[in-house]
Amino acid sequence: MSKKTAKDTPSEENPPADAAVAADGTGDSPAGGAAATAPETGATEDATSGNGAASGDAGAPAVESESASESASASASVTETPRAEQPAAPVLDKAENVLEVRDLVKHFPITQGIVLRRKVGAVQAVDGISLDLRRGETLGIVGESGCGKSTLAKLLIGLERPTSGSIKVRGQDLTELRGGDLLAARRNIQMVFQDPYTSLNPRMTVGDLIGEPFEIHTDVVPRQGRRQRVQELLELVGLNPDHINRYPHQFSGGQRQRIGIARALALEPEVLLCDEPVSALDVSIQAQVINLLEKLQDELGLSYLFIAHDLSVVRHIADKLGVMYLGRMVEYGNAEEIYEAPTHPYTQALLSAVPVPDPKLRGMRDEIVLEGDVPSPANPPSGCRFRTRCWKAEDVCAEETPLLQVRENSRHASACHFAQERDVVHGAA
């Protein structure tokens, strides 16, 4: 499925300065599938029956009363290695950037000893990521588990403090702010979490959950108008405003994610970080949530950093794409260009694993099977971090770190000494 045409981007993207390593806590490998879009429904969701409560089961997908015409199918101790110096990322138009990240680093120390603890190494979770996000734009971040996608999101939202680097939201560097200044600046960047079951406090009503940001940022909405604002947010995400006094367990999985989206929108942010927002949902509900995010982006001018394993979902929603491996960005640029002609061997291997819906093309696809295990982020390989699993690897790959830049005969940036466009579906190199 092709992504939306309403948000076309320039044919050649300016690459970020370098890439980062991030320790990601999930355990799934990237998977792709065909994303089907379900039509937006004006009707509100209601998962209650009899006594007005539909219990949510974390072990099985909950049933939504929302109708969708189509379903979305998913398919030890070491010393730190110094990073190669890389140039700063060129910017298309700084006036339009709502989020600018430069050389973002997060190293988690490895220590030994009980009484006298000493540092013996570090997990290089994020190690030099740079990226830009413009107003109304969606940047997709993909990569297998452990590559640092979620750690990157936590750094951007402030749940983790970076080791070094800068995070600017509307020109304000969040890494230099403290106290009330930081609190105020963080209003412009909010997060939609992966699991709608555990990201909502089961002891709080929906009204309290969505209205909690107003208790922290008291100047956003007057106290007497907060209930009405919460009801407006519920209606905005397609839920019944009258359900404001219900608890999370009385909603289905898709409805709970809508509640999480409403909470993220409460402070009217400009940037939403979506950390795999549909991966925990039943496949029949994923397209509805994706369509809701697209609708909100068109209406509110939101910018998304969208993290996912499902490559087809990212293709549908993203304008730009960043591919991460072992904490570094290995390919970056226009999403459609990368999907049509990937240049980095790792990206090519990822795309070759995506199921092809057309039976006539299945026999023509170029299947790439990677050998070996992913190296430890505590002891990454020298030079190119993908070289231990790459069929193109030569001596130069161990000696020099490839820069993330536009290569000859390529339209987007790639961190590979031997980058070459390849049509993975038809097997043309």
Residue position matching structure tokens 């009899």: 50
Would you state the pLDDT for residue 425?
61
Q: Please tell me the number of Cα atoms within 13 Å of 275 on its side-chain side.
A: 24
Average pLDDT for residues 179-198, to the nearest whole number? 90
Q: Which of 31-40, 132-141, 336-345, 365-374 has the lowest mean pLDDT?
A: 31-40
> What is the C-alpha end-to-end distance of the chain, expressed in Å?
23
Predicted pLDDT of residue 292: 94
DSSP string across 68-123: -SSPPP-----PPPPPPP-PPPP-S-GGGEEEEEEEEEEEEEEEE-SSS-EEEEEE
Greater pLDDT, 306 or 40 = 306
Higher per-residue confidence, 35 vs 155:
155
110: amino acid identity, one letter? I
Using an 8 Å Cβ cutoff, are 313 and 290 in contact? yes
pLDDT of residue 428: 44
Residue percentage of the chain with pLDDT more than 70: 76
How far apart CA 92 and CA 334 sit, in angstroms, is 13
Q: Residue 368's pLDDT band (boundaries 50, 70, 90)?
A: confident
Specify the range with the lowest mean pLDDT, choosing from 104-113, 204-213, 349-358.
349-358
Q: What digits encode the pLDDT tens for the residues 115-170? A: 888 889 999 999 889 999 999 999 999 998 889 999 999 999 999 999 999 999 98
Q: List, in order, residues 6 or more apart from 167 with CB less than 8 Å away.
A: 99, 100, 101, 104, 155, 156, 173, 174, 175
The upper half-sphere exposure of residue 170, i.e. CA atoms within 13 Å in the direction of its Cβ, equals: 12
Dihedral through CA 351, CA 314, CA 16, CA 341, nearest 10? Answer: 40
**pLDDT grade for 410, boundaries at 50, 70 and 90:** confident
Domains (ranges, CATH) in the chain?
A: 94-170+270-414 (3.40.50.300)
Rounded distance between C-alpha atoms, residue 388 and residue 375, angstroms: 8
DSSP state of 175: G
Residue 9 clears pLDDT 90, i.e. is over it: no
pLDDT of residue 20: 39
For 287-329, the pLDDT digits (tens) are 899 999 999 999 999 999 999 988 888 998 999 999 999 999 9
User: Directed axis angle between helix 206-216 and helix 226-236, to 10°?
Assistant: 120
Q: Residues with Cβ < 8 Å from 395, sequence gap 6 or more?
A: none
pLDDT of residue 123: 94
pLDDT of residue 404: 92
Rounded to an integer, the average pLDDT of 63-68 is 39
In whole angstroms, give the CA distance from residue 335 to residue 307. Answer: 14
The pLDDT confidence band at residue 96, using thresholds 50, 70 and 90, is: confident
Mean per-residue pLDDT of the chain = 79
